[in-house]
Structure 1
């Protein structure tokens, strides 16, 4: 048996074999080890559905790749993966569900996923066993269907072996040790004894440059062995198989199989199975299992069925397929399926570790296996995938995440598989958890909170005592109940002043003899002088955008870095790893995550200076906050009342403003002080949704939207923040990439009751030429606004494009960069 390989994959389910196949295809010497038999985990009892439907841009690409890849496996390997291309029919009982499908249609269009819309009449004509009189319509994917999980896994395994991969069964990993160059993986041979797997006396080590864990239900054991946190915990999923349905048997004598049927509003899927039906519900109160470990006796086992828990879904199947009412039950399955708190798998580098890659938390593992292998192999062998994989990165969860949190959120995620996926959705489990000191004050003032990285953050402020019949929790794919409140906040910030709680910002202190040289290489812009700030970007080695930073230079070799609040662990891991890699070149560097030490209030608007002048303590009131004393893009240590503040002259909304970074324990004092001072100056509290609209009016790119690992800063139109006169990480790759697409701002004439969400395809004469990455409402222009990427030849101001909203085509015109106040007169105004 091999003991030295380039890449070791741990886990022999569908996902592990998909990764092993693609690493071997890329030319890496690859080995896969499995503690039991291939498919012995959740793969064996999976229903094998292959839904293309997904609201995530990255996951849609992964699923599409899998569906296309599986269709060619038999020709390559000689093994039939059992792919039944019967299609997938998602039915809708409500207008809101049809709105969801129309929004998904935008995502599918950007990813090139074919789909159709069907009316109830068309459904009834094609599949008369389905009751349709209470349906609004359906979304149909004719190119997917279902597959035999064991067969497709074995086909990928054979393909991997043909490409040179070694696959070993009955090997359990008991430890990992990093030497600085490679992983030494401690293993033991397993044997069957009395129906259980037990370790033998045969132990050995495998040396690997890279390790990928795809351990499924055993993710918590993997986390302990690696000394990290992995929020992948299984939840019970049950499905039942009926006896043959005589009506279905008769139908099949002259007709093809039904598509996989999904009645999303009833929370189930159904497909044919040997003349009968498989019903898979996503019911309430399905419990998380194996929070800490999988019992050694649990192999290809199941849990007892809980029929009472799925009674409602079972009855709704009978309603939708009346012929199933008299059919008996033949088989039942209740097994563990892994979830994560947001439903997306964990794919990418393990936090804090070198050459350790995670592929965990797959609730749709059969669908994702091929695509995950493809894109993860690209990341490992080429440095980056061709699509931005940040939304799946394991480091999107920080060290604050606990087992209890993951278990409860994963249960919620399971329950929400078929609950409407509103873009303004805010799920309630495990909240509030991380709160700024002013949380209770904000709540009393009508704050309606969203959650980012566990932090509670006001999305908007509504009346604390909402009138009867008004529901702040209502959601919509069009303009929700929150829209007029956010609009009023945006208008107030443009006209008077607004106060935004930005405490969730990620903050790092970087200092030491090597700090200046390191940051100069780490980021693409010039470093600011002492007392000044600069906007800059850290690039990937592939030349794409890895992180956006506001850098505040506190001293010659001391810097305060501010980045997006959703990405604290993601940014911290990359920052530290890059510093460690170059410590021999630049010298000692001290890096601290100080996110929870500093609160941040953003005060902006024409009256912002007047408000601060009410409370700032300075010897010369006439020049306290003037441009001469405190120019744009500078910082000063000031005192507001009794609170010491690191004030930064910048505003993400494009108005005169300051970010007020302060000791977090003084947040309540400073909050009260600012609100009192702002009373006579028209100060209004502003949430994240209004801020998102305002930053688009200034064409300010947002990380995770316009900025990501699939576009360079030059493609993002950030040339003014790139110093080509210096050397920096990713520079040569960025220049070699050239301009494949350009980021633009568009003003849109859309429907009267809806705004774009940033998921829509951009069209020219019906041809897809780009996609939106952000969208919303512009109070400055009185119409919808969006940002996105288009072909370079279409990025000229005035170019007329189209986008589709609710299946209607709208006109979108490319605007100048920063269409609101393009010369930054307002942000520089003196006083």
Structure 2
């Protein structure tokens, strides 16, 4: 066995073999793949082998699409048949809401180049007469989809990897990881057969690897413990059954009928496909339990759990309803095995938190579908420094090491499994494990009608509904169109444009960066000029590929002390990158101290033409009438002020684009400050405002948001932010950003869309019949009285007045590119004096 390699991949399932293959294909000649048992002996062996392209995630859709295309090439390269049956995938809909979901998804498919078509019940019946259709509304059909043999495709990738120089070692278990400063020492133990079990022997070896990738599937919790980290990858039981041959199906095929596509009745919560004249039924039922929360028993190998037919009785009966010929067909085989999940259903792919050159590829609930694309894009991240698509939505650090626990992962993963076929509303808020992280004002906000969303575990008001609303009002208000919450958000947005509103922004990520090396480090780390003491600046940290890694508001509190504010959803993601960058540059810039103070400071944002009037009533100052004037407190500045008895770090900036302040306050004083502001605000008609209205308002100002317009697939220049880029200085990623040029450009559009719906920020944009871009954000503009969106288009089309079409509800609607910041383009309102 080799004892020194460039990259060690731990885990010999479909995901691990794909990663090893793609690392070799990307040019790393010294790669080793390690498997504790036999290749495919984990969840790969009992997977149903489906390749569902349907996914609401832009990144995951790209990953799945790559896999489908890649698997078709393996036989020519390796001589092994990967067992790919391109039969299509038919997603049936029993309700109009389900068809709305499919139409929304279809726009994501278009932006990723995934072919699809919509079928009527009549067309379904004409193609597949065994399917009952009279109670269907229609279906979404993917003609390039199908199913594959998991073992065959894994072995084909393994052979392809070997042909490219990868070493594959079986029956070796990773038992220890130690970072040595420039490489990992991984302790491996030889596994041997003993009484039908696989047990460690006394034989050990240490392999040195510059990079390590873990793709350990059901063993992810063991891996996490060895690495000293947390990750919410825990398996859930998944059952599927195989029937005896169905005489009606046998006769249909005998008479020349084409193989049925993979059938999915999402409203009935199952998939079905043909299997040797019979059918495979795979349900996603309620109450499927998580397993192996603290590790897989040594005795568990390629094993299964007992089948629980009572748990899937409802789904079984609905299969008989949909395919009546199955009523008299007996059961031939059954499977109930562990499939790894994460709380949001997306895998954990990317750098491990706090560790260097340690890469995770864990938590794959659709591992066969994702294996090919994961290998491809993860290899890009490792070899080139960044993938061609933004992989942030899959980053392992989206679940913080500080608050994510095993019990949280168990409950959320069970919920995620149950929700595989539940309607995926874009305004969906799932209920398990909530509330968990609450700011002190949570109960006060709830009493005022707040309907909450969850951001990085925090409860944050999305909007304020009626005080007499039932506990599940937010659930009942969801829609693929304008949900029951829409009018409340309209009223909140108007309040800020016309009067004053108060927003809870406590979830913001906050870091203090200080020390003798702080200024030099941040000047290199970010692309804009650093602010003067007492002032603020908006800036960006770039990736090594020149794309946008993080957006910061930087407040300079001293010559070498800075307060950094970034997106609330990305706390550990930002912290990890910031700390690693500072450590890398310690020898050049000197000592830098970094503190995550997110939990120490609450934030209220007050905004609107009357916001100054409200604050004047509670500010304690020798001259309260002028304390908030432009002369004493100018736009884009920060001051320490006192509101009643509460010391506040006030920042004159507003994400809504109105006169306003962010009020950063000691979190233990939050309830006091809340009560103080509400009492003063009542005299000025102040309205409580949630995140959904704020999202609309920031689009009227063309404010880019991280995770939508800003990400690792576009540079700040492509986001059209030249005023925040200081090309006179050297900064991380500058040369790479300039080398990329402008491949696409961010624009704001006003949309003449349907009367009952707004875009959600995933819709395709067309110039005539040619796709030219996609929306990244969408919503409603209270100023212009129509839908609004932001997105990226071809550079030659990114000009004011350009008319385009946006795809919504399976139709093209007129839209027009408008000037940046269509509302108050000169920022007169935000600078107003008083």
Alignment pair present for 1:617 and 2:620: yes
SS of aligned partner of 1:237: strand
Matched, 1:777 2:780: yes
For residues 558-607 of structure 1, the C-alpha deviation after alignment (integer angstroms, 9 at most, x for no partner) is 00000000000000000000000000010000000000000000000000
What residue number does 2:15 align with?
15
**Corresponding position: 1:169 with 2:174:** no
Contact 2:428 2:475 in 1 (8 A): no
Equivalent position SS for 1:623: coil
In structure 2, the partner of 1:741 is 744
Residues 267-278 of structure 1: matches in 2 within 5 Å?
Answer: 267-278=269-280
- 1: CA distance between counterparts of 2:39 and 2:19? 14
Indicate conservation of the 8 Å contact 2:429/2:475, yes or no: no
> What is the aligned partner in structure 2 of residue 569 from structure 1?
572
1:339 maps to 341
Residues 383-402 of structure 1 mapped to structure 2, 5 A cutoff: 383-399=385-401, 400-402=403-405
The answer to whether residue 6 in structure 2 is matched with residue 6 in structure 1 is yes
Counterpart in the other structure of 2:259:
257
Distance in 2, matches of 1:467 and 1:727, equals 56
2:467 to 464, 467, 471: 464
| TM-fit CA distance, 1:471 | 6.5
1:108 aligned residue: 109
Q: CA deviation at 1:473?
A: 3.2
Q: Which residue of 2 aligns with 1:122?
A: 123
CA deviation map 1:243-275 (0-9, x unaligned):
000000011111221000000000000000010
Equivalents in 2 of 1:119, 1:804: separation in Å?
A: 20
Aligned 8 A contact 2:38 2:171 in 1: yes
CA distance in 2 between counterparts of 1:468 and 1:351 reads 36
Give, in whole Å, the separation in 2 of the partners of 1:209 and 1:696.
44
Q: Is the 8 A contact 2:93 2:265 kept in 1?
A: yes
Matched, 1:357 2:359: yes
Who is 1:379 aligned against? 381
> Residue 223 in 1 paired to residue 224 in 2?
yes
Q: Which moved more, 1:501-510 or 1:467-476?
A: 467-476
From 300, 303, 306, the counterpart of 2:302? 300
Matching of residues 454-493 of structure 1 within 5 Å: 454-466=457-469, 473-493=476-496
Q: Which residue of 1 aligns with 2:90?
A: 89
Q: CA deviation at 1:467?
A: 8.4
Equivalent residue number for residue 236 of structure 1? 237
Q: Which runs of 5+ in 2 are unaligned?
A: none
What is the alpha-carbon distance in structure 2 between the residues aligned to residue 84 and residue 647 of structure 1?
61
Q: How does 1:46-85 map to 2 (within 5 A)?
A: 46-85=47-86
Aligned residue for 1:185?
Answer: 186
1:216 to partner: Cα distance? 0.2
Distance apart, 1:466 and its partner CA: 2.9
SS in 1 for 2:625: helix
Contact 2:474/2:485 (<8 A) preserved: no
What is the aligned partner in structure 2 of residue 411 from structure 1?
414
Q: Check conservation: 1:472, 1:481, Cα contact below 8 A.
A: no
Q: Which range moves more in the overlay, 194-203 or 260-269?
A: 194-203
Is 1:554 the counterpart of 2:557? The answer is yes
Aligned to 2:585: 582
The answer as to whether partners of 1:778 and 1:785 remain within 8 angstroms in 2 is yes
Structure 2 contact 244–331 (Cα < 8 Å) conserved: yes
Q: For each residue in 1:118-160, what CA deviation from the matched residue of structure 2 results, as whole angstroms up to 9, or x when unmatched?
A: 0000000000000000000000001110000000000000000
Contact 1:472 1:482 in 2 (8 A): no
Q: Where does residue 825 of structure 1 map in the other structure?
A: 828
- Three-state SS of the structure 2 residue aligned to 1:298 is coil
C-alpha displacement of 1:475:
1.3
The CA deviation string for residues 95-114 of structure 1, in whole angstroms up to 9 with x for no partner, is 00000000000000000100
Other-structure match for 1:330: 332
**Residue 425 (structure 1) aligns with:** 428
1:316-366 Cα distance to aligned partner (Å, 9 max, x none): 000000000000001000000000000000000000000000000000000
Q: For the residues of structure 1 that align with 2:519 and 2:224, how far apart are their CA atoms?
A: 35
Out of 440, 443, 461, the position equivalent to 1:440 is 443
In the alignment, does 2:613 pair up with 1:627?
Answer: no
Provide the secondary structure at the position in 1 that maps to 2:190: strand
CA distance in 2, matches of 1:83, 1:705: 35
Provide, for residues 350-402 of structure 1, a one-character-per-residue CA deviation record: whole Å limited to 9, x for no partner.
00000000000000000000000000000000000000000000011112100
Seen in structure 2, the aligned counterparts of structure 1 residues 376 and 620 have a Cα distance that, compared at 3 Å, is: same
Equivalent residue, structure 2, for 1:149:
150
Aligned mate of 2:721, from 718, 723, 726:
718
703, 708, 717: which is aligned to 2:706?
703
Select 1:498's aligned residue among 498, 501, 517: 501
1:746-765 mapped onto 2 (5 Å cutoff): 746-765=749-768
**In the alignment, which of 636, 642, 645 is matched to residue 642 of structure 1?**
645
Q: CA 1:469/1:281 → structure 2, altered by over 3 Å: closer, same or farther?
A: closer
Q: Report SS of the residue matched to 1:572.
A: helix
Aligned residues: 831
* Secondary structure class of the residue paired with 2:476: coil
* C-alpha displacement of 1:621: 2.5
Cα distance in 1 for partners of 2:425, 2:451 equals: 16
CA RMSD of aligned residues (A): 0.9
Give the distance between the partners of 1:500 and 1:467, measured in 2 at CA. 23
Q: Following the alignment from structure 2 to structure 1, what is the Cα–Cα distance between the partners of residues 413 and 473?
A: 30
Q: Which region of structure 1 is more displaced relative to structure 2, 617-626 or 364-373? A: 617-626
Q: Give secondary structure in 2 for the equivalent of 1:409.
A: helix
CA–CA distance in structure 2, aligned partners of residues 707 and 417 of structure 1: 28
Question: Of residues 662, 665, 675 in structure 2, which corresponds to 1:672?
Answer: 675
Measured after TM superposition, the shift of residue 26 of structure 1 is 1.1
- CA apart distance, 1:468: 12
- Cα shift readout 1:380-430 (whole Å, capped 9, x = no counterpart): 000000000000000111121000000100000000000000000000000
Whole-Å Cα distance in 1 between the matches of residues 647 and 245 of structure 2? 75
Hey, what does 2:160 align to over in structure 1? 159
**Residue in structure 1 matching 2:452, options 426, 449, 454:** 449
1:472 Cα deviation (Å)? 5.5
SS in 2 for 1:681: coil
* Distance in structure 2 (CA, Å) of the matches to 1:24 and 1:376: 12
Distance apart, 1:220 and its partner CA: 0.2
Secondary structure of 2:229 counterpart: coil
Q: Secondary structure at the match of 1:319?
A: helix
Give 1:27 shift.
Answer: 1.6
Question: Does the CA-based 8 Å contact 1:650-1:659 persist in structure 2?
Answer: yes
C-alpha distance in 2, partners of 1:174/1:319? Answer: 50
Contact between 2:451 and 2:474, CA under 8 Å: does it hold in 1? no
Counterpart-to-counterpart distance in 2, 1:259 and 1:821: 53
Q: Does 1:767 align with 2:770?
A: yes
| Superposition TM-score, scaled by structure 1 size | 0.99
CA shift for structure 1 position 464 = 1.5
| Structure 1 ranges of 4+ moved more than 4 A | 467-472
Q: 1:201: how far off?
A: 1.5
Contact 1:544 1:709 in 2 (8 A): yes
Q: CA deviation at 1:469?
A: 11
Q: Which residue of 1 aligns with 2:246?
A: 245
Q: Per the alignment, do residues 730 and 301 of structure 1 end up closer, same or farther by CA in structure 2, a change over 3 Å counting?
A: same
Q: Partners of 1:462 and 1:512 in 2: how far apart?
A: 46
Within-5 A mapping of 1:723-734: 723-734=726-737
Q: Is 1:523 matched with 2:546?
A: no
Corresponding residue SS for 1:369: helix
Alignment partners' CA distance in 1, 2:478 and 2:253: 41
Q: Which runs of 5+ in 1 are unaligned?
A: none
